Chains A and B, each alone.
Chain A
Amino acid sequence: MSQVTLSNVVKYYGKSRAVHGIGLDIADGEFVVLVGPSGCGKSTTLRMIAGLEAISDGEVRIGGRVVNDLPPRERNISMVFQNYALYPHMTVRENLGFSLKVAKVDEAAIVRAVDEAAGILGLAELMDRKPAELSGGQRQRVAMGRAIVRQPDVFLFDEPLSNLDAKLRTQMRVEIKKLHQRVGNTIIYVTHDQVEAMTLADRIVLMQDGHIVQVGTPLELFNTPVNTFVATFIGSPPMNLIDGVVDGETIALDGGLTVPVPLQAQGRVQDGQMVHFGFRADNLMPEGHGVFEGGAVATLELPVILTEPLGTETVLFTEMAGTEVQAKMLNPRPVRPGETLKFQLMIDKCHVFDAATSNAIRV
């Protein structure tokens, strides 16, 4: 059993608070990603779980056992570091077997475990090399292999892919997911990259300034962000936000446009309330170049400022109510900047956030 429970965990550095009493339940075998901008406390949280940082207040349990005062070696965890932290004076084989050697496991068992891990990660050819003779991706694999060999209760990943180039990152992302499917251990993964979070996680924990902002599956965070921070952090391109004022059944956007109040916010807004009106690029599409699922649709004529062709779709930068927004064009045709297109906005997919609190207004 390797569930991880954080209750009211606090971290002080001197007098400043880095983590503000966070609580989190991670189930056995779950893949949880802690994501957030730099300085949000995600790495600190991970390091407290690992035992590399002292816990100032609160409680961390691994497998039901309080580990606050246990050194890292007694927590039965493995960690993959951003800079790999391979032992430079040891060969790949020695690196992989190090933890078992320290634990005084007998030689034959070490060889078996190391060979198995090497097989999973395709390291067999590299066993006698030193880390300095490996490429970035190979080092990353060795670091993961070293984590597997221990058969820990929990895997901790601290931004493991940020030192790799874009192509390798995508490749390793898939390998990490496969690894999780294969070994099935609990994984806590820290990243600042929302794409990694979306693609890997069973559940995303989005953090900001030492607080947890929202916890949920990738689609929950994508479809029902609790505030504008989540809305703009998750998803690419980020959600478009336009300021406006509620006027009966409609929202008057600052630049002069008027749109109906989306279904999910109807009856929850008051006349004269200042709001942010939000929608994703996927929900603003040129006529004839989108997928519409019914519900209210607003038709707008907007000028195209810039295009970003991606192959299957083109991201269109346009201006709506004086604010630059992004739209998506499926089955794209060439579009020239300056061209004016007829766009359709799926009103019921739109979001309304209170301007004062930035919190979402929905049923």
Chain B
Amino acid sequence: MDRNQAHRNRKRGLKALHFLALFLTMSIICIPGLWIVLNSFRPTVEIMAKPAVWIPSFTLDHYRAMFGGAGEGGVPVLSYFRNSLIVSVVSTAIAILIGMSGGYAFARYRFRGKSSYFVGLMLFRAVPGVALSLPLFIVFAKVGIIDTHFGLILVYVALNVPFTIWLTDGFFRQIPKELHEAAEIDGCTRWQAFWKVEFPVARSGVASAAIFAFLTSWNEFALASQLTRSVGSKTMPVGLLDFTAEFTINWGGMCALAVLMILPALILTFIVQKHLIAGLTFGGVKG
């Protein structure tokens, strides 16, 4: 009996430790985000206060100002939001279409130079995007697509395709090839077999690839800050810069815009989270 009791106690103790470790880790991840949300609702004095004020007061001033006129600290939030949305959605859609086709080809077909091509794609990911900003700037300026949605979409598609290929390749690889063979025998063309059988089965994988691509485009700052400059094309991360002046930074306003930026990403992730988890664990098995 005693030994059982001791064993049970030890198990309980371990479980408590487990929770504590989890709590600490989650805090490290979440507190900066939480701080941004809190700061967006408190007056500037409180944000700048030293030592920090732990019990926040509540004001909507920053939001009011942000949506206000240009003279009162307002920024064209809706334009930025629209730009971000257009650029992210379109680039994600294109990246998924190209990436999925690529991933499928890598998973299903044998062709000359396949593995070196694949490695090449991954190497491309190793190039830091910012390093490309100057060449891109010059080329885009010459071609005349600087400061346009199109230019930014092009960059994000290029940025996202390799990762999408890598991710979807893993998913399609896990689908036994007999599935599309069965579909072809059942009367499908190769194309139908893909859309009616393989695509629905790999849907979670494609969904998680899409989320990643969307978040990359939605949050990307370095390249967008170089390639956009007018209200007509600036995305939200670039818009944050509007709150910096030569000598001051409007932290409250910046946090308020950041919250607006986080919200759609959060909602989207929440909607597809079921797919995302299924997708990530499914793809995770791949070595």
Where chain A touches its partner, the secondary structure class is: loop
Contact (A85, B187) CB under 8 Å given A102-B192, A102-B196: no
Q: Which residues of A343-360 are within 8 A (CB) of B?
A: none
Contact A77 B179 (CB under 8 A): no
Contact B201 A85 (CB under 8 A): no
Contact (A102, B187) CB under 8 Å given A88-B201, A89-B201: yes
Q: Which residues of B200-254 are within 8 A (CB) of A?
A: 200-201, 203
Closest 4 CB pairs between A and B?
Answer: A85-B178, A99-B186, A85-B182, A102-B187
Digitize B177-207: 1 where CB-to-A-CB distance is under 8 Å, 0 elsewhere. Answer: 0110111111111001000110011010000
Question: Bound state CA distance, A77 and B187, in angstroms?
Answer: 10
Question: Bound state CA distance, A78 and B196, in angstroms?
Answer: 18
- Given A71, A82, A89, A146, which contacts B184 in the complex, CB threshold below 8 Å? A71
Query: Can you report 21 A-B residue pairs in the complex whose CB atoms are below 8 A from each other?
Result: A71-B184, A71-B189, A73-B185, A73-B187, A73-B188, A73-B189, A78-B185, A79-B185, A81-B178, A82-B178, A83-B176, A87-B183, A89-B197, A89-B201, A98-B183, A99-B187, A102-B186, A102-B196, A146-B186, A150-B186, A150-B187
Chain B residues with Cβ below 8 Å from A71 are 184, 189
List the B residue with the shortest CB-CB distance to A78.
Answer: B185
Q: Which residues of A43-91 are within 8 A (CB) of B?
A: 50-52, 71-73, 77-79, 81-83, 85, 87-89
Chain A residues with Cβ below 8 Å from B181 are 50, 52, 72, 79, 81, 85
Chain B nearest CB, measured from A105 CB (Å):
10
A103 at the binding interface (Cβ < 8 Å): yes
Contact B189 A87 (CB under 8 A): no
How big is the A interface, by class? 20 to 34
Question: Bound state CA distance, A99 and B185, in angstroms?
Answer: 8
Contact B179 A87 (CB under 8 A): yes
Chain A nearest CB, measured from B3 CB (Å):
40
Digitize A113-154: 1 where CB-to-B-CB distance is under 8 Å, 0 elsewhere. Answer: 000000000000000000000000000000000100010000
Chain A residues with Cβ below 8 Å from B196 are 98, 102
- Given B185, B201, B203, which contacts A50 in the complex, CB threshold below 8 Å? B185
Chain B residues with Cβ below 8 Å from A87 are 179, 182-183, 197, 201
Chain B residues with Cβ below 8 Å from A89 are 197, 200-201, 203
Chain B residues with Cβ below 8 Å from A72 are 181, 184-185
Residues of B near any A CB (own CB < 8 A): 176, 178-179, 181-189, 192, 196-197, 200-201, 203
Contact B186 A98 (CB under 8 A): yes
- Given B185, B197, B200, which contacts A77 in the complex, CB threshold below 8 Å? B185
Contact (A81, B182) CB under 8 Å given A87-B197, A88-B201, A89-B200: yes
Chain B residues with Cβ below 8 Å from A83 are 176, 178
Chain A residues with Cβ below 8 Å from B186 are 73, 98-99, 102, 146, 150
List the B residue with the shortest CB-CB distance to A47.
Answer: B181
Q: A81-B181, A87-B183, A89-B200 are in contact. List 11 more A-B contacts (CB 8 A).
A: A52-B185, A73-B188, A81-B178, A82-B178, A85-B181, A85-B182, A88-B201, A89-B201, A98-B196, A102-B186, A102-B192
Question: Bound state CA distance, A89 and B201, in angstroms?
Answer: 6
Chain B nearest CB, measured from A110 CB (Å):
13
Chain A residues with Cβ below 8 Å from B188 are 73, 102
Question: Bound state CA distance, A51 and B182, in angstroms?
Answer: 11
Question: Bound state CA distance, A7 and B178, in angstroms?
Answer: 27
List the A residue with the shortest CB-CB distance to B180.
Answer: A85
Q: Which residues of A229-264 are within 8 A (CB) of B?
A: none
Question: Bound state CA distance, A332 and B185, in angstroms?
Answer: 51
Chain B residues with Cβ below 8 Å from A85 are 176, 178-179, 181-182
Chain A nearest CB, measured from B109 CB (Å):
14
Chain B residues with Cβ below 8 Å from A88 are 201
Chain A nearest CB, measured from B193 CB (Å):
9
Question: Bound state CA distance, A99 and B197, in angstroms?
Answer: 12
Question: Bound state CA distance, A253 and B189, in angstroms?
Answer: 62
Chain B nearest CB, measured from A84 CB (Å):
8
Residue with the greatest number of chain A CB neighbours at <10 A, chosen from B179, B181, B184, B186: B186
Chain B residues with Cβ below 8 Å from A103 are 187
Chain A residues with Cβ below 8 Å from B197 are 87, 89
Chain B residues with Cβ below 8 Å from A51 are 184-185
Chain B residues with Cβ below 8 Å from A102 are 186-188, 192, 196
Chain A residues with Cβ below 8 Å from B185 are 50-52, 72-73, 77-79
List the A residue with the shortest CB-CB distance to B181.
Answer: A52
Question: Bound state CA distance, A82 and B179, in angstroms?
Answer: 11
Chain B residues with Cβ below 8 Å from A52 are 181, 184-185
List the A residue with the shortest CB-CB distance to B203.
Answer: A89
Q: Which residues of A195-232 are within 8 A (CB) of B?
A: none
Chain B residues with Cβ below 8 Å from A98 are 183, 186, 196
